[in-house]
Structure 1
Amino acid sequence: MLEVWNWFIALASHKATLLALLFPLFIGIVIYTYAGRRRSRRLESYRYMPFEDEDGERLRRGAGDEDGKKE
């Protein structure tokens, strides 16, 4: 019984177990996220979100005044 307890509390034995559990979970999340066509398009539309101003309008380089907004 003591051997089982020592195996259970040993950190080295849990690394492989966690890898075996969490890696398929990660792969499953990636497949779920990008497998659906609508979901994939929606996520791709978010890629420019950091470059949008507060009104949701994309900043245009060289268009308009100094801060990039067109009036």
Structure 2
Amino acid sequence: EENDMAHVPRVYMKTLHDRVMKPEQQDAMVKRWPPSQTYELDTDHSPFFSNPFVLFGLLIKAAVSMGSI
């Protein structure tokens, strides 16, 4: 299963004001499962509520850069 994960393209959205996932925890996740791209959002843990337009733009940008759109 671990090897299967290596073939899945990943993008990470790091939330800078997250009180649920501390920056160290987010960095550990990025280190363990390196994404091809990382974006930083000036939001809390739920950017889909606190800043949905910025999140939407980054998701579109990520999809385009990975050839999904």
TM-score (norm 1): 0.25
TM-score (norm 2): 0.26
Max Rg structure: 1
Query: Which has the higher relative contact order, 1 or 2, with Cα contacts under 8 A spaced 6 or more apart?
Result: 2
